[in-house]
Amino acid sequence: MTSLLVRPSSPDMQGKVLEVTPETAGWEHVGFRVHTLARGQHLEASTAGREHCLVLLSGRATVSCGEHRWEDIGERMNIFERMPPYAIYLPDGVSYSVEATTDLELAVCSAPGYGNHEPRLIAPEQIKCSTRGSGTNTRHIQDILPETEPADSLLVVEVYTPAGNWSSYPPHKHDVDNLPEESILEETYYHRLDPSQGFAFQRVYTDDRSLDETMAVEDGCCVMVPRGYHPVGAPHGYELYYLNVMAGPKRQWKFQNDPAHEWIVNK
């Protein structure tokens, strides 16, 4: 196993099956967890100094935070139904609870928060859906928390890559503070596959190849992208979903393609 690949484990007492923290990743901004909760199970937690975006990957839940309560939300029972999810934005410095009203898969995305926003529901109808690319470079995007929506640090997006297609392609990076051309953003990729016994490939590499890792990712794996280009390929027969979490010193997503493959953009 490479240093950038995080595999799921058996659930703990609060259903946690996967976790990336700034400390374990060796970076400063992005945190990511996945919980699988049985119907009736509760998750109790605090955001501490970090804003959160709770994404209901599949299943339904009641989420409470102070005077805010969102009762029995969620419509997507399977990630690969492709409908946009329900999500909850939470600022830093609050406590919250999640009660699974069906079996639930929950993603907890976090980054530094500065107390500038209130808790809010992000409903499916608020999520912009789009398609990028063409041919075997086609993928489908669902922007849960883009930079056009209020938050302090977090950017959160879902991507569906059809079987046999490439995604995050041509290879691009966002690891240089050179706005408006490029921004610095750490990133995690949480991968799911349909059928679940499948696999996909992700490469993370820099121009000088001081970082160059190619990983076979399986259902439920997470890839950390501290820097460098990071394309993904889905083999024939297996649809790939991934949830991206990004954060950095500035909340802007500006990237640069690998010059060697820039020609593909205009193909």
Span 6-59, pLDDT tens digits? 999 999 999 999 999 999 999 999 999 999 999 999 999 999 999 999 999 999
pLDDT by residue (tens digit) across 166-211?
999 999 999 999 999 999 999 999 999 999 999 999 999 999 999 9
Above 70 in pLDDT, residue 1?
no
pTM: 0.96
Domains of the chain in start order, with CATH, are 10-264 (2.60.120.10)
Lookup: tokens for 29: 């901004």
Q: How many residues does this entry show for the chain?
A: 267
Q: What percent of the chain has pLDDT over 70?
A: 99
Strand partners, 55: 87, 107
Q: Are 25 and 69 in contact (CB under 8 A)?
A: no
Lookup: tokens for 131: 């398609």
pLDDT band at 149 (very low <50, low <70, confident <90, very high): very high
pLDDT by residue (tens digit) across 235-248?
999 999 999 999 99
Q: Which amino acid is at 114?
A: Y
CA distance 19 to 24: 9
Q: Could you tell me the strand order of the sheet in which 61-65 lies?
A: 42-46, 95-100, 61-65, 68-73
Above 90 in pLDDT, residue 266?
no
Q: What percent of the chain has pLDDT over 90?
A: 97
Which of 161, 119, 169 is closest to 142 using CA atoms? 161
Above 70 in pLDDT, residue 164?
yes
Lookup: tokens for 234: 């889905």
